[in-house]
C-alpha cells in the first residue's frame, strides 16, 4: 500500500504548480495593505455642498474587523464545511481557499488604487474637515483640504476615499466567491434546476448587500460608490472562481480543475500480498472510476476535472504572425455561375 513518504513527492510536485498563484496573491495583498497608509489625491469641494454635509459616524455598523470576518473567515469556514459534506476533496479545499484569497487580494488592491487616485470626498467630509464657522464658497472657486481644522490626519486622509466602497467590494468578493462555489456544488444550471438551489446559491449575496447598504446608512459612501464597489467585487469573485473551477453549466461544476502538473499513467499500487492476489484489472478499478470522459488518463488527478487544452503562448503568437503575413487565398471561382 502507499505510504505517506511515497505520496509526498507527488503531492509536493502538484502543489508547486500553484506557486505562481500564491505568489501573486501575496503581492496583491501586500499592495492592498501598503496603500492604506498613502496620502492620496484630494479633490476640491464646496462647503455648501449638501451631499458631503452628513454627520461623521464614530461607530460604524460594520467595522473593519467585522468586515474581515464576513468576507474572509466566514466563507473559508463555510467552504470547508461544504467540501466535507459533499466531495471531501483535498484539491477542492485547496482551490476554493486559493480562489477566495485571490479574489479578495485582487479586489482590495484595485479598490485601494482607485481610492487614492480618485480622491472623492465622503458624504461626511465637512464634519471631518471642521472648516472655520461662517465660511462660504468664493465666487467661481472651490476649497481644498487646507481650510480644514481637523488635527487627526487619519480621519482627514480617509475622508477622501469614498470611491469605490471598499466594504462593498470586499464583501461581494468574498461572499460572491462563496456563492459561485455553492452554485457549482448544487449544479445550479443543470436540467433539474429548482428554486431551492437558486436560493441556496444567492443567499451569500444577500449578506454582501446588507454590508454595502450599511455604508450608506453610516454616511461613509455615496450610492454610486457602493454600486461600483459591489460590481467590482462580483466580477473579481467570478474571475477568481473560473480560474480554478469549470463553468457553472458544466456537468463537472462540483469538481475543481486538475492541478497544472501531471501524474503517472498507472499509479504505484504497492506490493501488498493481498493486493497482489487480485486480478490486475481489479486493482485498477478505483483508478478507472476517476477518469473523465475524453481526458488523458496520465494527467487527471482523482476528484478533479481536466482544464481545456492550451498551447504555449509562443505557439499562439507564431500562428497569428504567420496568418497575418500569409493570409489564406480566397477562391474567386463561383459555383453558381451560368454558362
pLDDT per residue rounded down to tens, the chain (339 residues)? 444 444 444 567 777 888 889 999 999 999 888 888 888 999 999 999 999 999 999 999 999 999 999 999 999 999 999 999 999 999 999 999 999 999 999 999 999 999 999 999 999 999 999 999 989 998 889 999 999 999 999 999 999 999 999 999 999 999 999 999 999 999 998 877 688 899 999 999 999 999 999 999 999 999 999 999 999 999 999 999 999 999 999 989 999 988 876 555 444 444 444 444 445 444 444 444 444 444 444 456 777 887 765 556 677 667 666 777 766 665 555 555 544
- Judge whether 312 lies within some domain: no
Q: Which of 34, 104, 33 is nearest to 73 (CA)?
A: 104
- Judge whether 307 lies within some domain: no
- Judge whether 270 lies within some domain: no
Q: Which of 47, 214, 219, 215 is nearest to 122 (CA)?
A: 219
Which cell goes with 117? Answer: 487616485
- Judge whether 320 lies within some domain: no
Whether the ω angle into residue 53 lies within 30 degrees of 0, i.e. cis, is no
- Judge whether 290 lies within some domain: no
Per the DSSP assignment, residues forming a β-bridge with 45 are 143
- Judge whether 167 lies within some domain: yes
Q: Which of 63, 9, 19 is nearest to 211 (CA)?
A: 63
CA within 13 Å, CB half, 318: 5
Point out the residues that are catalytic.
167, 221
- Give the integer Cα–Cα distance in Å for 126 and 121: 9
Cβ-based neighbours of 334, under 8 Å, separated by 6 or more:
none
- Judge whether 81 lies within some domain: yes
**Structural domain range at position 64:** 17-244
- Judge whether 71 lies within some domain: yes
Q: What's the structural domain count of the chain?
A: 1
Amino acid at each position: 500500500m502507499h505510504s505517506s513518504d511515497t505520496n509526498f513527492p507527488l503531492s509536493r510536485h502538484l502543489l508547486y504548480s500553484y506557486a505562481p498563484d500564491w505568489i501573486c496573491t501575496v503581492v496583491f495583498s501586500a499592495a492592498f495593505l501598503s496603500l492604506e497608509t498613502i496620502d492620496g489625491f484630494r479633490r476640491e469641494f464646496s462647503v455648501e455642498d449638501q451631499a458631503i454635509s452628513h454627520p461623521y459616524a464614530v461607530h460604524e455598523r460594520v467595522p473593519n474587523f467585522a468586515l474581515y470576518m464576513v468576507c474572509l473567515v466566514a466563507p473559508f469556514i463555510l467552504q470547508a464545511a461544504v467540501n466535507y459534506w459533499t466531495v471531501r476533496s483535498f484539491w477542492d479545499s485547496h482551490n476554493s481557499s486559493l480562489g477566495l484569497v485571490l479574489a479578495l487580494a485582487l479586489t482590495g488592491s484595485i479598490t485601494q488604487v482607485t481610492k487614492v487616485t480618485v480622491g472623492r470626498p465622503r458624504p461626511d467630509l465637512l464634519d471631518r474637515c471642521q472648516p472655520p464657522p461662517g465660511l462660504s464658497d468664493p465666487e467661481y472657486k472651490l476649497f481644498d483640504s487646507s481650510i480644514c481644522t481637523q488635527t487627526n490626519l487619519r480621519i482627514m486622509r480617509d475622508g477622501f476615499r469614498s470611491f469605490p466602497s471598499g466594504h462593498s467590494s470586499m464583501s461581494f468578493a468574498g461572499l460572491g466567491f462563496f456563492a459561485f462555489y455553492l452554485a457549482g456544488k448544487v449544479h445550479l444550471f443543470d436540467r433539474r434546476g429548482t428554486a431551492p438551489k437558486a436560493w441556496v446559491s444567492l443567499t451569500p449575496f444577500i449578506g454582501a448587500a446588507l454590508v454595502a447598504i450599511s455604508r450608506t446608512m453610516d454616511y461613509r459612501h455615496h450610492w454610486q460608490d457602493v454600486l461600483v464597489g459591489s460590481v467590482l467585487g462580483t466580477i473579481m469573485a467570478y474571475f477568481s472562481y473560473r480560474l480554478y473551477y469549470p463553468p457553472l453549466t458544466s456537468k463537472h461544476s462540483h469538481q475543481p480543475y486538475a492541478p497544472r502538473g501531471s501524474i503517472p499513467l498507472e499509479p504505484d499500487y504497492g506490493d501488498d500480498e493481498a493486493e497482489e492476489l487480485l486480478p490486475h484489472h481489479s486493482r485498477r478499478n478505483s483508478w478507472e472510476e476517476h477518469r473523465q470522459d475524453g481526458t488523458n488518463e496520465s494527467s487527471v488527478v482523482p476528484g478533479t476535472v481536466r482544464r481545456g487544452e492550451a498551447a504555449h503562448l509562443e505557439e499562439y503568437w507564431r500562428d497569428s504572425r504567420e496568418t497575418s503575413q500569409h493570409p489564406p487565398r480566397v477562391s474567386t471561382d463561383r459555383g453558381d455561375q451560368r454558362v
